[in-house]
Amino acid sequence: MLFILIGVALGFAAGFIPGFSSKNLALLLITYGLISSNIYLAVTVVSVEISASFFEFLSPMLFSIGNEATALAIDPSYTTLTEESLKRRISFVVSGGLVGILLSLPLLLFAERIFPVVYNSLKPLVAWLLLFICMYIIWIEKGWKKKIFATLIFCLSGLFGLLVKDSGLVSSEYLLLPIFIGLYGFSSIISKKHEKSSPLQYIQDMTLTEKIRVAAIAFITTLFASLIPGMKRGQTSAMALQIGSATRNEEVLFMLSLVSLAFMTLSIFALGSAGKIRTTLAYDINEIMGDIYFSQTSLFVGSAAISACMSACILTLLAKPIGRIFSKINKKYLNIFGLFIGMLLIIIFTGVNGVLLAFTATCIGMLSYFLRVRSVHLMGILLLPSIVTAILR
C-alpha cells in the first residue's frame, strides 16, 4: 500500500505536467534503482502508469497539450473555462476509467486460456485487420468530400510516420513527444477554427442508456484491439471513437478514459498469460520481473485497481479547487503556457530535430482543421506504419 501511494503521487505529478510522460518517470525509477525490491518497484511503476492515465487528462483540458492517449481529448471549441465545466469533464474521465478497469477484471479468469491462442491465430492476419479497420474508419465518414479529405489526412500523417519511424532523427523513446504535441496541441492552439460556445451548454450529462452504449462499444473495441499484435492505445482510441460515432465532448472523454485504463489492464493480462508486451507498462514490468506468474499478475492487477480507485477519488476532490483557480485565468493565456511548456519539453528531450518534427506535425494538424476533418484520422501516424511493418514481416 505504501508503494501504491508513492506511485499515485508520482503519477499525479507526471500526468499534470503538459507533455510529460509517465513512462519517463518510470524509466528513472528503473534506471537509477531508487527502489531496491523488484516486487515493490514493479508495484510502484504500475501505480505510476495507472494513476497518470487519470491525471494526464488535465493537461489537454487545461493547456490543450496531450500525448498519444489523450490527444483526442483536445477540443478546439473549448475557448473558456469555468469551475462547473471542468468538474463535469473530470467526472466523465473518472467514470470512464473506473468502468474500464471494472469491465477488464473478470477477464483475468480466462486470460491464460484465451490470450495465447488468439495471439497465435491472429498474427498472420494483423496487416489485413489493421487495413480493414483504417478503411472502415474512413468509409463511415459522411459524404464523398469528407471521405476524400479523411483519406488525404490519413495518408499524409501515415507517410510522415513512415518517414520518421526509423530515421534516427530523434531517439525512439521520445519520438512521439514532438509529433503528438504538434499534431494535436500546437495545431489546435494556433488554428483559427474556434467556435464561440458556452462550455455549460456544450458539456451535457449522459443518460444511463448512452453510457451503456458508449461503454460497450469502447470496451469491445479495446478487447478486440488488445488481441491484435501491434495495436496501441492511441490507435484503439481512434477506432473506438469512430465506431461509436462519438462527437460530443462528454462521450469523447468517457470513451478515451475507458479505453486507456482497459487497455493498460489488459496489457498486464497479455504479459502474464502470453508473454506479449503491448504497452510501456508491460515492458517496464517485464524489464523488472522478467517472466511473471499468475499470482504476480493478480498482484499487479490488484495494485492497478487500488491505484485507479485512489486516483479517481483524488481527481474528483481536486476538480473543484482546480476549476476555481484556473477559471480565473483566460484560456488564451493557458494555451500560451501550454505552447511554452510543450516547446520547452521538445527542446530538452529531442533538440532541434524534435522542433522540426513538431513544426511538420503542426502543419499537418492545421490542415486537418482547415479541411474540417476529424482529428481521429491523424492517427494514421501510428496505423499506417503498423500496417506496413506487419506486411513486410
pLDDT (0 to 100) of residue 189: 79
User: By the 8 A CB rule, do 137 and 244 touch?
Assistant: no
User: By the 8 A CB rule, do 85 and 199 touch?
Assistant: yes
Euclidean distance between CA atoms 157 and 160, whole angstroms: 5
Instruction: Identify which of 46, 3, 34 has the alpha carbon closest to the alpha carbon of residue 286.
Output: 46
Q: Which residues in the chain belong to E strands, given as ranges?
A: none
Q: How confident is the prediction along the chain (393 residues), in pLDDT tens digits per residue?
A: 999 999 999 989 888 776 666 777 777 777 766 777 888 989 999 999 999 989 988 888 888 777 777 777 776 556 567 778 888 889 999 999 999 999 999 888 877 778 788 777 777 777 788 888 788 878 877 888 889 999 999 999 999 999 998 888 888 778 888 898 888 888 877 875 444 443 434 456 777 888 899 899 999 989 888 877 767 787 788 888 878 777 777 888 899 999 999 999 988 888 877 777 777 788 788 888 877 777 788 889 999 999 999 999 999 998 889 888 888 887 778 888 888 888 998 998 889 999 999 999 999 999 988 888 877 788 888 888 888 887 876
pLDDT (0 to 100) of residue 140: 77
User: By the 8 A CB rule, do 360 and 183 touch?
Assistant: no
pTM given for the model = 0.82
- Residue 24, C-alpha cell as written in the block: 519517463
Cα dihedral 161, 56, 18, 189 sign: positive
